[in-house]
Amino acid sequence: MDKTDAGRTAVLLERVGRLINQEAHADGLQPVQWEALRYLDRANRFSRTAGALTAYLGLTKGTVSQTLKALESKALIRKEPDKKDRRSNRLVLTARGRRQLVNDPLAATAGALEGLPKQTQRELGEGLSEFLNGRLGAEQRQPFGQCRDCRYFARKHPEGNPHYCQLLHEQLNAADSEAICLEQEPATS
């Protein structure tokens, strides 16, 4: 497997993934629970649902349901009825959940990356993003990009606050523009 550049890189990704996964057994949480907390911290208000989390993680509904139950029992998240659709719930990080993220074990990996030269960090980030998007596309899965990079994002729109989502017909603030979204479709250059 590792006789080509691609094979060696695949082996390196596997090893890095294993290290990250081992570190993610921290503070009484499982790796998938950490991933869910990180997702809810980064997702926009339209994407903080069990269905969107299921799509993001690429796991079964049952696994995600159990993950959410565990996080709810630890008071790290809570479910709130959707104001526009009472049949569904929005997932919200609690203050305790936000405090938990201060101890995110992924910080060790981010710290190691920060030790690399800035150009290497940028190139690695761009390359991994391109690789991930290719893999997600091959599996017909959503990329979950940032609102600001979406074809439906309207900067400083007259109906916005200050921005606007032309797909969902919703006002977006500056924080919304930085969040990730289930509905995101990359804007054409």
Q: Name the CATH topology of 5-141.
A: Arc Repressor Mutant, subunit A (1.10.10)
User: Which stretches of the chain score pLDDT less than 70?
Assistant: 1-2, 189
Q: Tell me what pLDDT residue 111 has.
A: 95
* pTM, two decimal places: 0.90
The structural domains of the chain, with segments of one domain joined by +, span: 5-141, 145-189
For the record, the structure tokens of 49 come out as 């649902």
Q: Tell me what pLDDT residue 97 has.
A: 98
Q: Tell me what pLDDT residue 1 has.
A: 64
Reported for 137-142, long-range contacts at CB under 8 A and 24+ positions apart, including other chains, are: 139/58, 141/55, 141/58, 142/55, 142/56, 142/182, 142/184
Q: What would the pLDDT profile of 12-40 be if each residue is shown by its tens digit?
A: 999 999 999 999 999 999 999 999 999 99
